[in-house]
Amino acid sequence: MAKNKRKIKIMLGSTVYGFEDQLSQIIAQLNILDYKVLNSHNGSIKVNPKL
């Protein structure tokens, strides 16, 4: 029986505007390397606009 492997989570900050294409490429590369990327631009972290 195979052991259940958990993905390593990486939080990627995206506070700099104008670099969305590079940010998407970084997220794609990390996903290929089997990391779970947490990022508000990617939609994996929910943003509260009232804060």
For residue range 15-37, what is the model confidence (pLDDT) as tens digits?
A: 778 888 999 999 999 999 999 99
pLDDT at 2: 62
Averaged pLDDT of the chain: 86
pLDDT at 6: 86
- Residue 20 C-alpha from the chain's centroid: 12
Average pLDDT over residues 27-49: 89
Kindly report the pTM of this predicted structure.
0.72
Compute the C-alpha angle 30/3/44, nearest 5°: 30
Task: Report how far residue 43's alpha carbon sits from residue 33's, in angstroms, rounded to the nearest whole number.
Answer: 19
